[in-house]
Amino acid sequence: MTPGPDLQQLINTIKTDAGSDDELEQLATAAATISELTTTGDAALGFFVDRARGSGKSWVEISAVLGVSKQAAHKRFADSWTARPAFERYTQRARSVVQAAADIARARNHDFIGTEHLLLGMYKEPGAIAAKVLVKHGITDESVLRAVDVESPAAEPSTEPKELDAENPPYTRRAAHVLQGAVGEALTLGHNYVGTEHLLLAFYRDQAGIATKILLDQGLDESAAWTDIRAALEGFKK
């Protein structure tokens, strides 16, 4: 394992970043740096906790590895499975995907928004990174729709159709987890925004989700998704 910076290296980096000998400016830089490191570290740890939960590991097993009580582990990491998603950092394209998911759910007479709807929603933004990665691997909207029809068939129209609440849409537990997990994926990549690429990566946090099953069945595993997304992001920098 590659060692992180020791205390003196961190202090020297903060002084350099501050660009001043003023103690308050150095303190402000130190506070911002430590906050960023803590946020990123929590996101990275949360990523692996998510993977363990998604593979069926219990909170008892996870808490034993972390060296904390089951209650402490659950309180710290369970929110991403239940909390209402926050969209402040979402790009316009990522928000469009989420809105498209709601429209797709409504068209299929579903009164919930699941990971399958989010996956189908990605094709409404064909110029975004996620859709480009999917199409590159031959995963088209038609092939995904066929798979969704098997896993989550459209419902019969109701005589009293239910409207999806725009202020508090009924995301499934797994869909909410993906929407929250996308923020963690963005932090892991050092981004201050959440794009469609982060949503795509967040699917892999839970191997039991319908969207993840479809992606794996159609040949796009997490490693390939990461490789293509990184290549696309590097392309934007050039």
Could you read off the pLDDT of 165-179 as tens digits, one per residue?
545 568 898 998 899
Is the pLDDT score of 55 beyond 80? Answer: no
pLDDT range class, residue 156, cuts 50, 70, 90: confident
**Range from 136-140, 181-185, 234-238 that averages highest in pLDDT:** 136-140
Percent over 70 (pLDDT), the chain: 79
pLDDT at 146: 97
All residues at 6 or more sequence positions from 18 whose CB lies less than 8 Å from its CB, including other chains? 25, 26, 28, 29, 30
Mean pLDDT (whole number) for 37-50: 69
- Residue-by-residue DSSP string for 90-143: B-HHHHHHHHHHHHHHHHTT-SSB-HHHHHHHGGG-TTSHHHHHHHHTT--HHH
For residue 84, the 8-state DSSP code is P
pLDDT at 84: 57
Residue 191: how many other CB atoms lie within 10 Å: 16
172: phi then psi, degrees, rounded to nearest 5: -70, 165
pLDDT tens digits for range 22-32:
888 888 888 88
pLDDT at 1: 55
Is the pLDDT score of 151 beyond 90? Answer: yes
pLDDT range class, residue 180, cuts 50, 70, 90: confident
pLDDT tens digits for range 116-144:
999 999 999 999 999 999 999 999 999 99
Identity of residue 6 = D
pTM tops 0.75, yes or no: no
pLDDT range class, residue 76, cuts 50, 70, 90: low
Sign of dihedral through CA atoms 187, 188, 190, 193?
negative
Is the pLDDT score of 161 beyond 60? Answer: no
**How far apart (Å, rounded) are the C-alpha atoms in residues 66 and 73?**
8
**Range from 45-49, 81-85, 153-157, 210-214 that averages highest in pLDDT:** 210-214
